[in-house]
Amino acid sequence: MINGLIDTHCHINFFKNAGEVAIECEKRKIHTIYVTTLPSQFDETFEYVKPLKYVYPSLGFHCLESDYNLEKEKRFFLKNIEKTKFIGEVGLDFSKRASKSKEEQIDLFKFVLESIQDKEKIVNLHSNNAEEKVLEMLIKYDIKKAIFHWYSGKISTFNQILNYGYYFSINESMTKSKKGQNIISKMPRDRILIETDAPFIKDVLPYKNFNVYYYLSTIWNESIDYVIKKTFDNFINLQDNKKNNLFG
């Protein structure tokens, strides 16, 4: 396989051996977006990750987090916002598992989007059962660059997302479900990125995530090298080809 493996959504800090995972990504040159779920997590780990060339820390404020001091976390978010191009994991979740009300989640997402709307950031999105509202708010706050992580919504909303130029990241679980397969089959090749969502998807790692590439190789009828190059090019194009300026 050629170089150019990517993981645009990995929760490195939730691994018991987080440092080893990050170093292994670096050694193997796996371009990995390390998403966080609270600004304090970013603040605590940024100095460790900053020297790494292939691991990109992402400033998150997840809608499903519940045990935190809101005002303190908002201060951490604003303090760190200029340290990275990547924002996430952020978004909305209107499923039954959500512990916060829709109104609380929308207020938090509004805070995030208002804070970055005049900045060139790449937003990594959670949108479970809330895809339409997430898209509506991205448009309202004029967010130019976004990745819909593990999209599972309506095809009509999916098409609107494409019209606004946003990207989708796919993982192994999506390739194993009929719904996921259907959504992947409708994705233009130039809008697809690869993720693990590890460790929440078990038994995958940024440098051991080949099944997604093999799946795309099969449905596209292309070589593995083609799939790796294409998805890597998408990752670079998302950043306007600024290969050497991944930090803010």
246 occurs within a structural domain: no
**pLDDT of 241 above 90:** no
**Tens of pLDDT, residues 110-139:** 999 999 999 999 999 999 999 999 999 999
Read off the pLDDT of each residue in 3-12 and give the average, rounded to a whole number: 94
CA distance 60 to 106: 15
Average pLDDT score over the chain: 95
For residue 36, the domain's CATH number is: 3.20.20.140
Q: Is 31 annotated as a binding residue?
A: no
Q: Catalogue the E-assigned strands of 36-191.
A: 55-59, 86-91, 122-126, 145-149, 167-170
Q: Is 197 annotated as a binding residue?
A: yes
Q: Is 62 annotated as a binding residue?
A: no
pLDDT in the model for residue 157:
98
Domain that holds residue 29: 6-238
**Tens of pLDDT, residues 140-181:** 999 999 999 999 999 999 999 999 999 999 999 999 999 999
1 occurs within a structural domain: no
Q: Catalogue the E-assigned strands of 12-77.
A: 31-35, 55-59
Q: Is 149 annotated as a binding residue?
A: yes
pLDDT band for position 1 (50/70/90)?
low
Q: Is 20 annotated as a binding residue?
A: no
Give the pair of three-digit tokens for residue 61: 């404020």
**pLDDT of 246 above 70:** no
**pLDDT of 25 above 50:** yes
**pLDDT of 48 above 70:** yes
61 occurs within a structural domain: yes
Read off the pLDDT of each residue in 195-223 and give the average, rounded to a whole number: 97
Task: Please tell me the total count of domains within the chain.
Answer: 1
247 occurs within a structural domain: no
245 occurs within a structural domain: no
Q: Is 93 annotated as a binding residue?
A: no
Instruction: List CB contacts of 36: < 8 A, sequence separation 6 or more.
Output: 11, 13, 42, 45, 57, 58, 59, 60, 89
Instruction: List CB contacts of 155: < 8 A, sequence separation 6 or more.
Output: 183, 186
59 occurs within a structural domain: yes
Give the pair of three-digit tokens for residue 47: 């100095």
**pLDDT of 243 above 70:** no
